[in-house]
Amino acid sequence: MKNKNLVILIVAGVLIFLLGIGLGMFFNKITYNTQGKSALSSKVISSVVAYGQVSGINGRVLTLNNLGEDLNIAISENAQIYTFAKDGSGQQIQQAVGFSSILVGNKVNVAVRMLVTGAVEGLSVIILP
């Protein structure tokens, strides 16, 4: 009888311990995700850079692919677009171009910011050589 009560007590303790771990991980995940989204949409963080190959263009929305993952980025109307060109001495320089210079297959860096809604907005694009 004494051993049976001891086993029940140990099993109950292990179950409570596991429940505590599970709840701790669940609430930690919620806090982390909420903080991450609000931090990235903060005015303190001006932009983050997305890199990839343009796999699609729909209006002003670029679809970038990198390592098999796609991301759609709406490019702002006043976004600056740059490419590299050679000057008279053969040095590569950045040159401002229009949005139509971006082609499927180009590798690009896009300065993005996360809006409060969770959407990603492109602030500038650099077409890489």
- Say whether both 31 and 57 belong to one domain: no
pLDDT of amino acid 21 = 72
Neighbour tally for 86: CB within 10 Å: 10
Neighbour tally for 29: CB within 10 Å: 10
Residue 32: pLDDT band with limits 50, 70, 90: very low
- Say whether both 64 and 93 belong to one domain: yes
- Say whether both 110 and 52 belong to one domain: yes
Q: How far apart are CA 21 and CA 31, in angstroms?
A: 15
In this prediction, residues 99-111 reach a mean pLDDT of 95
- Say whether both 4 and 63 belong to one domain: no
- Which segment, 35-49, 74-88, 109-123, is predicted with the most confidence on average? 74-88
Q: What is the residue range of 102's domain?
A: 48-127
pLDDT of amino acid 69 = 93
